[in-house]
Structure 1
Amino acid sequence: MVDKKMDENIQHFCAITGASARDAKKFLEYHGRLDVAADAYFNNPNAFASSSSKAARPSAPSTSKLNQLFDKYKDGGGDEISIDGTIRLCEDLEVDPEDVVMLAVAYELKSPKVGEWARAGWVEGWKALGVDSLPAIKGLVDKLRSKLSNDPQYFGKVYAHTFQFAKTEGARSVGTETAIAFWGLLLPVGLKGGALSHVIEEDDGKMDTGDEGFKDEYIQWWFEFLTEKGLKGVSKDTWMMLRDFIRTIDSKFETYDAEAAWPSTIDDFVEYARNRLES
Structure 2
Amino acid sequence: MDNYYANPPSTPTSATTSTSRAPDVKKIGALFDSYKGGHCPKNSYRRGLTLEVPLDSDTGNIGIDGTLKLCEDLGVNPEDVVMLAVAYELKSPGVGEWTRQGWVDGWKNLQCDQIQQMKAAIAQLSSKLSNDTDYFRSVYNFTFDFAKTEAGQRSIPVESAVAFWGLLLPAGLKGRALQHMDMKTGDDGETVYTASRDPGWNATHSELWSEYMNEKGGKGVSKDTWMMFFDFVRTIDAKFEKYDADAAWPSAIDDFAEWAKEKLC
Q: Same fold (TM over 0.5)?
A: yes
Which position in structure 2 is the counterpart of 1:114? Answer: 95
Structure number with the higher helix fraction is: 1
The match for 1:45 among 15, 19, 24 is: 19
Give distance in 2, aligned partners of 1:97 and 1:120. Answer: 22
Give distance in 1, aligned partners of 2:154 and 2:36. Answer: 29
The reply on whether 1:197 has 2:179 as its aligned counterpart is yes
Structure 1's 75 and 264: CA in aligned 2 closer, same or farther, altered over 3 A? Answer: same
Which position in structure 1 is the counterpart of 2:44? Answer: none
Count of residues in Structure 1 that have an aligned counterpart in Structure 2: 227
Structure 2, unpaired ranges of 5+: 1-13, 39-56
The reply on whether 1:97 has 2:78 as its aligned counterpart is yes
Structure 1's 65 and 105: CA in aligned 2 closer, same or farther, altered over 3 A? Answer: same
Give distance in 1, aligned partners of 2:217 and 2:233. Answer: 22
Which position in structure 1 is the counterpart of 2:107? Answer: 126
Give distance in 1, aligned partners of 2:72 and 2:15. Answer: 26
TM-score, normalization: structure 2?
0.82
Q: Which amino acid aligns with 1:121?
A: G
The reply on whether 1:66 has 2:28 as its aligned counterpart is yes
Q: Which amino acid aligns with 2:218?
A: L
The reply on whether 1:274 has 2:256 as its aligned counterpart is no
Which position in structure 2 is the counterpart of 1:187? Answer: 169
For residue 43 of structure 1, report the CA deviation from its aligned partner. Answer: 4.6
For residue 44 of structure 1, report the CA deviation from its aligned partner. Answer: 3.1
The reply on whether 1:177 has 2:159 as its aligned counterpart is yes
DSSP-derived class of the 2:19 partner: coil
Between 91-100 and 68-77, report the one with greater CA deviation.
Answer: 68-77
Higher RCO, Cα 8 Å, sep 6+: 2
Q: Is the 8 A contact 2:80 2:167 kept in 1?
A: yes
Structure 1's 178 and 277: CA in aligned 2 closer, same or farther, altered over 3 A? Answer: same
Give distance in 1, aligned partners of 2:245 and 2:213. Answer: 19
For residue 42 of structure 1, report the CA deviation from its aligned partner. Answer: 3.5
Give distance in 1, aligned partners of 2:94 and 2:249. Answer: 28
Give distance in 1, aligned partners of 2:263 and 2:106. Answer: 45
CA RMSD of aligned residues (A): 1.7
For residue 230 of structure 1, report the CA deviation from its aligned partner. Answer: 4.7
For residue 242 of structure 1, report the CA deviation from its aligned partner. Answer: 0.5
1:157-176 aligned at under 5 Å gives the runs: 157-169=138-150, 170-176=152-158
Give distance in 1, aligned partners of 2:137 and 2:97. Answer: 22
DSSP-derived class of the 1:85 partner: helix
The reply on whether 1:234 has 2:221 as its aligned counterpart is yes
Q: Deviations over 1:76-100 (max 9, x none)?
A: 6442100000000000001111100
The reply on whether 1:152 has 2:152 as its aligned counterpart is no
For residue 194 of structure 1, report the CA deviation from its aligned partner. Answer: 1.5
Q: Is the 8 A contact 2:88 2:142 kept in 1?
A: yes
Q: Percent identity?
A: 57
Q: Is the 8 A contact 2:15 2:124 kept in 1?
A: no
Query: Structure 1 residue runs of 4+, over 6 Å off?
Result: none
Give distance in 2, aligned partners of 1:277 and 1:217. Answer: 9
For residue 41 of structure 1, report the CA deviation from its aligned partner. Answer: 9.8
Q: Deviations over 1:125-164 (max 9, x none)?
A: 0111111111100111110000001100000000011110
For residue 216 of structure 1, report the CA deviation from its aligned partner. Answer: 1.0
Structure 1's 188 and 42: CA in aligned 2 closer, same or farther, altered over 3 A? Answer: closer
Q: Is the 8 A contact 2:129 2:177 kept in 1?
A: yes
For residue 201 of structure 1, report the CA deviation from its aligned partner. Answer: 2.5
The match for 2:193 among 206, 219, 236 is: 206
DSSP-derived class of the 1:221 partner: helix
1:239-254 aligned at under 5 Å gives the runs: 239-254=226-241
TM-score, normalization: structure 1?
0.78
